[in-house]
């Protein structure tokens, strides 16, 4: 059934409040079942043997000794995962990333795996597997990898997007260019031009729950996978394709998820667990340790970015250009392209050009991390924006407002913006009391903006009404950030029942049609839309049932505030029929009452945020500490206020960690030196101030409630907000992230030496 997805202004009863989370009790009492929390009869323990080398040819793998160890039930190598990808390069890369095929491409790359009766035996078996390596030269730095004489990762990468196509392979997978106008002419018109180069370190999503799954494959080709994931449908499809299973035969269930932030949009050990189970003919549980999570699962790119911005003295930007180099780990990705698309998206710039270079290096395969690629581009560009504002003597917020993108502005990646929130967020920042708050010694304030697309995508949802009048909503988008509470509110709003009448369940891959992964801040936007439509379907059914109960035409019935009401003089005396009353009689009026919706949810509204950051810098140690922080972001329509604020706060916290201390540190040998939370420093509670939030609501015209995704955007501004604050505090412009104490102190020294 076709439904109207356009926004309609309305008064909400349930939406826009703060209700108790439906998953709260189970989580705080430890009963919630995460990836490692399920068990199958006869299950084995799976463990993976990983390369200690950054780059090596695998000459020989001898598993004979390990196989003889009592308790070992299966050992696999790439031979047990034959290539069924039919030339699909994306799938081939996933397959090779799951298990090295002749070459180890990074420290931590899987080379073999074991299934054994217990953990100790599995570990012992790993030590008995003999791998003969020929160590090859490696490269882990994005700029080094682009050099003509850099060690080559793949002989099949010929840079795309350059004309003529190269005849020699390189580590540069692709070049992207986008923009508008004539930047050369624009720079000629500028009164002031600032050019700067920046680098950002590689960060990991840092989810607390490691990757974990329980896989069981039967000899008849049927299989089950229980897994912590952001998208069990895409996991099913990928795993089934790699193992040669039918999609319908691989029932995949998503567990509770202990954080994903993009890192659980991609399969890592799951195909290995399935292959082990297939070989052992027993269920296999595979749980990574933290070391494996860091070494072998999706961090985001490290980058190297050059920015040039020119402006008139009145603040008008005449031209802006950027060259962005992103490494995707050992396999090509779209990361630099995403940097190009997002970097200048907050502004209306007449002449703009962004060139991106996607590069491969000997590091783990990159994957999405919350607004993937946008924070690095924003770090470089928003830092440069502040430098230009300073050069022309303009307030940095006013300078941004002078060039701000509005409805009708063409986005850097093509489309014309609809109603967007960047200008309102900047105005809210300008007028916020935080901006006038006094600062202490060694403290200063910085501001920065951020953009994220947000996406919609394929969604399939069921709504079932029980005979007691309670409601089960089954969705296929994994709840990574409070979607169950928000969707229950939306269903309750539509049906006109209290929030606690609705229970939301995440359906497994066998119980719903395909749902795209929960990524791109799509969960509440897309499943929210599908929920509204499924509820409206159910209301139509209930109106038909009421018509039967009253024996009047259905056209004479309206649904209002949770009840069916007969309209017109003829039926004026009929009392209303509530959802509960209609449900109680459903067995006599046509059976169960349900609503269903399948949709490709188009029209996700862009997300924009502006942040205010106060830092205090210790000039003797270089340590910078965030002492006050405010997030202003457009939510379109905030469904559950706590969760929306929580997303803003969580995103800002991750951005601050990235800005100050988080970074993959590789040794000369190409091995990761800090594969643990002790030395990969995500912020702890006491490192952060309370992060204040302000929700703006500029309705998305393409959603019945006006919803925009809110999960990602606010990780984009913090890197530059912190950097701009540091620059204002101690007068040094940090060009490398993280801005660790050591780096800030070195920059302060350089400043002293220069003056």
- Of the residues 318, 524, 661, 735, which one makes contact with another protein according to CB under 8 A: 661
Count of CA atoms in the C-beta half-sphere (13 A) of 414: 3
Contact 726, 617 (CB under 8 A): yes
Contact 383, 720 (CB under 8 A): yes
- Of the residues 165, 684, 690, 755, which one makes contact with another protein according to CB under 8 A: 684
Q: How far is the CB of 673 from another protein (least distance, A)?
A: 5
Q: Report the distance separating Cα 493 and Cα 706, nearest Å.
A: 14
Q: Is the peptide bond before 305 cis (omega within 30 degrees of 0)?
A: no
Does residue 741 interact with another protein by CB under 8 A? yes
Strand partners, 503: 472
Dihedral over Cα of 345, 692, 687, 228: its sign: negative
Q: What is the CA radius of gyration of the chain?
A: 27
Tokens coding 595: 């609503």
Interface with another protein by CB under 8 A: which range of 275-283, 418-426, 595-603, 675-683? 675-683
Strand partners, 347: 404
x-or-dash string of contact with another protein, 396-425, rule CB under 8 A: ------------------------------
Q: How far is the CB of 611 from another protein (least distance, A)?
A: 22
Q: How far is the CB of 227 from another protein (least distance, A)?
A: 22
Does residue 289 interact with another protein by CB under 8 A? yes
How many residues does this entry show for the chain?
Answer: 755
Q: Tell me the C-alpha to C-alpha distance, in Å, between residue 570 and each of 542, 566, 581, 697.
A: 20, 9, 22, 43
Nearer to another protein, 119 or 130 (CB): 119
Interface with another protein by CB under 8 A: which range of 69-77, 258-266, 488-496, 679-687? 679-687
x-or-dash string of contact with another protein, 379-398, rule CB under 8 A: --------------------
- Of the residues 23, 37, 395, 687, which one makes contact with another protein according to CB under 8 A: 687
Nearer to another protein, 665 or 751 (CB): 665
Interface with another protein by CB under 8 A: which range of 130-138, 353-361, 409-417, 659-667? 659-667
Collect all residues with Cβ–Cβ distance below 8 Å to 270 and sequence separation of at least 6. Answer: 213, 215, 225, 227, 235, 239, 286
Nearer to another protein, 30 or 87 (CB): 30
Tokens coding 264: 């659980």
Q: Report the distance separating Cα 93 and Cα 121, nearest Å.
A: 31
Does residue 30 interact with another protein by CB under 8 A? no
CA angle 573, 579, 582 (to 5 degrees): 70
Interface with another protein by CB under 8 A: which range of 58-66, 177-185, 270-278, 673-681? 673-681
Q: Tell me the C-alpha to C-alpha distance, in Å, between residue 409 and each of 56, 343, 349.
A: 49, 15, 9
- Of the residues 6, 218, 588, 742, which one makes contact with another protein according to CB under 8 A: 742
Nearer to another protein, 218 or 673 (CB): 673
DSSP string, 594-621: EEEEEEEE--PPPEEEEEEEEEEE-TTT
Q: How far is the CB of 680 from another protein (least distance, A)?
A: 9
Q: Report the distance separating Cα 679 and Cα 681, nearest Å.
A: 5
Collect all residues with Cβ–Cβ distance below 8 Å to 175 and sequence separation of at least 6. Answer: 159, 160, 161, 162, 355, 356, 357, 358
Does residue 750 interact with another protein by CB under 8 A? no
Contact 339, 680 (CB under 8 A): no
Q: How far is the CB of 730 from another protein (least distance, A)?
A: 16
Cβ burial, residue 24 (10 Å; 0-12/13-18/19+): exposed
Interface with another protein by CB under 8 A: which range of 368-376, 596-604, 671-679, 699-707? 671-679
Does residue 659 interact with another protein by CB under 8 A? no
Q: How far is the CB of 370 from another protein (least distance, A)?
A: 21
Count of CA atoms in the C-beta half-sphere (13 A) of 559: 22
Dihedral over Cα of 313, 315, 319, 321: its sign: positive
Q: How far is the CB of 246 from another protein (least distance, A)?
A: 38
The structure tokens 């709840």 sit at 479
Using CB under 8 A, count the residues that bind another protein.
23
SS (H, E, C) 188-213: HHCCEEEEEEEEECCCCCCCCCCCEE
- Of the residues 64, 248, 665, 751, which one makes contact with another protein according to CB under 8 A: 665
Q: How far is the CB of 339 from another protein (least distance, A)?
A: 27
Does residue 723 interact with another protein by CB under 8 A? no
Contact 104, 51 (CB under 8 A): yes
Q: Report the distance separating Cα 274 and Cα 43, nearest Å.
A: 12
Q: How far is the CB of 596 from another protein (least distance, A)?
A: 47
Q: How far is the CB of 623 from another protein (least distance, A)?
A: 7
Nearer to another protein, 327 or 661 (CB): 661
Task: Give CA 42 to chain center in angstroms.
Answer: 35
What is residue 559's three-state secondary structure? strand
Does residue 674 interact with another protein by CB under 8 A? yes
- Of the residues 623, 627, 641, 748, which one makes contact with another protein according to CB under 8 A: 623
Nearer to another protein, 281 or 742 (CB): 742
Nearer to another protein, 354 or 656 (CB): 656
CA angle 544, 549, 554 (to 5 degrees): 30
x-or-dash string of contact with another protein, 93-132, rule CB under 8 A: ------------------------------x---------
- Of the residues 279, 350, 410, 681, which one makes contact with another protein according to CB under 8 A: 681
Q: How far is the CB of 99 from another protein (least distance, A)?
A: 21
- Of the residues 1, 2, 416, 678, which one makes contact with another protein according to CB under 8 A: 678
Tokens coding 631: 């997030």
Interface with another protein by CB under 8 A: which range of 201-209, 496-504, 583-591, 619-627? 619-627
Q: Tell me the C-alpha to C-alpha distance, in Å, between residue 267 and each of 230, 234, 366, 587, 593.
A: 10, 9, 12, 44, 37
Nearer to another protein, 122 or 243 (CB): 122
Nearer to another protein, 81 or 744 (CB): 744
- Of the residues 147, 191, 673, 731, which one makes contact with another protein according to CB under 8 A: 673
Binding residues (CB under 8 A) for another protein: these are 123, 289, 291, 620-621, 623, 660-661, 665, 673-674, 677-679, 681, 683-684, 686-687, 740-742, 745
């Amino acid at each position: 059934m076709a439904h109207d997805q356009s926004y309609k202004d309305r008064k909400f009863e349930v939406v826009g409040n703060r209700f108790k989370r439906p998953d709260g009790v189970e989580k705080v009492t430890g009963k919630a079942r995460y990836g490692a929390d399920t068990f199958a009869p006869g299950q084995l323990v799976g463990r993976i043997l990983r390369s200690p080398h950054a780059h090596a040819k695998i000459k020989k793998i001898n598993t004979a000794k390990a196989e003889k160890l009592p308790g070992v039930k299966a050992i696999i190598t790439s031979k047990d995962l034959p290539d069924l990808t039919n030339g699909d390069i994306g799938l081939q890369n996933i397959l090779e990333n799951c298990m090295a095929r002749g070459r180890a491409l990074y420290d931590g790359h899987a080379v073999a795996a074991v299934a054994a009766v217990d953990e100790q035996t599995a570990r012992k078996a790993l030590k008995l597997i003999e791998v003969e390596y020929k160590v090859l030269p490696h490269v882990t730095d994005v700029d080094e990898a682009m050099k003509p004489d850099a060690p080559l990762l793949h002989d099949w990468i010929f840079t795309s997007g350059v004309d003529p196509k190269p005849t020699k392979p390189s580590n540069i997978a692709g070049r992207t260019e986008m923009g508008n106008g004539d930047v050369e002419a624009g720079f000629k018109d500028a009164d002031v031009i600032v050019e700067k180069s920046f680098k950002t370190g590689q960060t990991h999503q840092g989810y607390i729950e490691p990757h974990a799954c329980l896989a069981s494959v039967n000899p008849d080709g049927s299989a089950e996978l229980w897994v912590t994931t952001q998208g069990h449908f895409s996991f099913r499809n990928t795993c089934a394709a790699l193992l040669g299973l039918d999609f319908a035969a691989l029932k995949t269930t998503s567990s509770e998820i202990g954080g994903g932030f993009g890192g659980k949009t991609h399969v890592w050990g799951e195909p290995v667990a399935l292959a082990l189970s297939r070989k052992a003919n027993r269920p296999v549980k595979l749980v990574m340790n933290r070391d494996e999570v860091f070494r072998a699962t999706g961090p985001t790119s490290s980058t190297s970015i050059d920015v040039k911005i020119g402006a008139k003295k009145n603040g008008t930007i005449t031209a802006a250009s950027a060259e962005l180099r992103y490494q995707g780990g050992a396999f090509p990705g779209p990361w630099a392209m995403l940097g190009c698309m997002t970097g200048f998206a907050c502004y209306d710039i007449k002449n703009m050009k962004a060139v991106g270079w996607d590069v491969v290096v000997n590091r783990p395969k990159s994957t999405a991390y919350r607004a993937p690629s946008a924070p690095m581009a924003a770090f470089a560009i928003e830092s440069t924006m502040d430098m230009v504002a300073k050069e022309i003597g303009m307030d940095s917020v006013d300078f941004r407002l002078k060039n701000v993108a509005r409805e009708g502005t063409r986005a850097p990646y093509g489309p014309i913006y609809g109603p967007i929130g960047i200008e309102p967020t900047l105005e809210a920042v300008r007028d916020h009391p935080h901006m006038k708050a006094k600062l202490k010694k060694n403290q200063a304030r910085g501001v920065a903006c951020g953009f994220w697309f947000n996406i919609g995508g394929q969604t399939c949802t069921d709504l079932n009404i029980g005979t007691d009048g309670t409601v089960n909503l089954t969705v296929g988008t994994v709840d990574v950030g409070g979607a169950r509470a928000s969707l229950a509110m939306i269903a309750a709003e539509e049906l006109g029942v209290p929030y606690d009448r609705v229970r939301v369940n995440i359906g497994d891959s066998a119980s719903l049609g395909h749902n795209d992964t929960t990524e791109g801040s799509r969960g509440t936007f897309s499943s929210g839309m599908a929920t509204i439509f499924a509820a409206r379907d159910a209301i139509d059914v209930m109106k038909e049932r009421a018509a039967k109960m009253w024996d009047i035409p259905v056209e004479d019935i309206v649904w209002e505030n949770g009840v069916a009401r007969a309209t017109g003089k003829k039926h004026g005396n009929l009392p209303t029929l509530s959802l509960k009353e209609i449900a109680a009689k459903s067995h006599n009026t046509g059976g169960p009452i349900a609503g269903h919706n399948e949709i490709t949810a188009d029209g996700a509204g862009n997300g924009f945020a502006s942040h205010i950051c106060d830092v205090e810098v210790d000039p003797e140690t270089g340590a910078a500490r965030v002492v006050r922080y405010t997030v202003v972001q457009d939510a379109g329509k905030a469904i559950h206020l706590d969760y929306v604020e929580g997303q803003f706060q969580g995103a800002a916290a991750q951005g601050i960690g990235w800005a100050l201390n988080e970074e993959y540190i590789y040794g000369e040998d190409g091995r990761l030196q800090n594969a643990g939370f002790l030395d990969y420093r995500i912020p702890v509670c006491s490192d952060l101030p309370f992060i204040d939030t302000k929700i703006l609501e500029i309705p998305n015209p393409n959603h019945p409630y006006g919803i925009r995704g809110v999960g990602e955007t606010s990780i984009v501004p913090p890197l530059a907000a912190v950097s701009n604050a540091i620059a204002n505090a101690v007068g040094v412009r940090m060009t490398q992230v993280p801005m660790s104490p050591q780096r800030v102190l070195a920059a302060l020294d350089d400043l002293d030496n220069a003056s």
